[in-house]
Structure 1
């Protein structure tokens, strides 16, 4: 943070969208800590980290848009236990709730990196996508950056609590996937 400053924070947070194992939950408190030490201001930390979030999400959106609805539907139909009707229901749901999904999804680990794909696939208007992404990312980033700013040298404490939240999300995903597979196998069996 000290050598790369705000643009470095933007780059690392942007990469979180492309490579989800790179956790923004670790980078954001560090940016807050750097702001507290005077490397850059708190406002600058929020600006750069949010810019990075939006830029990374825009790249993933564009990848989804390049993939497109029809190609994604065909690919989904090739996944074991997944039917094209599942994709159609998901696309219809996203058409109704896409704005909320993008906005709220920016505040949920794992989902925050993936929500840009359906937005691109379903061609959500790019301006709306950027607005929802920026708003949701700013809220998420503010919580972690301010925590790092306030905790100072103890900024790493935030990661422990964030890790717990991530584990809860992963556990919920595993349970949901297990239920989906069990139901589908039972229905097809």
Structure 2
């Protein structure tokens, strides 16, 4: 196990840091983009890139690029919603998402307002649909950024820190403990399980606000949150 993991981590680290960082930023941009984000494994690519971080500066630069990539993806979704949202929603591609998910995203934004933008970054499906829905609603772009930037920073910091610390600890212990590889894999698996469970719990809690349509609800407009 140790030999294989050492080879794998060395292979990732051997990739040019600039290329590795740009690939992570591109992956998360696609992962947060409307509809594309449902099939691109941005989370996994960021974790892999995080295991190659060898210094605080490299970690900060990776985090900055990942945040910028996430903001670019969400901004694409926002402006697509502002410019062609209804047409996209009723296109063949939009219909594959399902009317129920579109209505859920719209209802979530109406009921939560700004916090929906922050929380949706951590929710399945909604993290791709909410930016588009926000753009369609007439919500101001600057206020959209004020809610989504902190969410992207929290998300990227969490993923990169866990990956980098786990990989760094493994490298320190690999020559001393024959089961260091299992510890590394265990840490990553536990982290992913906790992330998955946390998303499901958050989704379940937030779903309480989405189960029933309240009469008289109106789309979010330029209001203070």
Matches within 5 A, 1:76-115: 91=106, 94-95=109-110, 97-115=112-130
Matches within 5 A, 1:104-143: 104-143=119-158
2:166 aligns with 151
Gaps of 5+ in 1: 181-189
Query: Deviation digits for residues 32-68 of structure 1, max 9, x if unmatched?
Result: 2122x35961111111111110001111111111234
Q: 1:31 aligns with which of 49, 52, 69?
A: 49
1:162 aligns with 192
1:48 aligns with 65
Judge conservation of contact 1:14–1:57 (CA < 8 Å) in 2: yes
Q: What number of residue pairs does the alignment pair up?
A: 165
| Structure 1 residue 28, shift from structure 2 partner | 2.2
Equivalent-residue separation in structure 2 for 1:99 and 1:113 (angstroms): 16
1:10 aligns with 2:40: no
| Structure 1 residue 113, shift from structure 2 partner | 2.0
Gaps of 5+ in 2: 1-11, 171-183, 212-225
User: Is the partner of 1:12 in helix, strand or coil?
Assistant: helix
Q: 1:124 to 1:8 in 2, by over 3 A?
A: same
* TM-score of the superposed pair, with normalisation by structure 2: 0.59
| Structure 1 residue 90, shift from structure 2 partner | 6.9
Query: Deviation digits for residues 4-40 of structure 1, max 9, x if unmatched?
Result: 13222211111112322222321222232122x3596
* TM-score of the superposed pair, with normalisation by structure 1: 0.68
Considering only CA atoms, is the larger Rg found in Structure 1 or Structure 2? Answer: 2
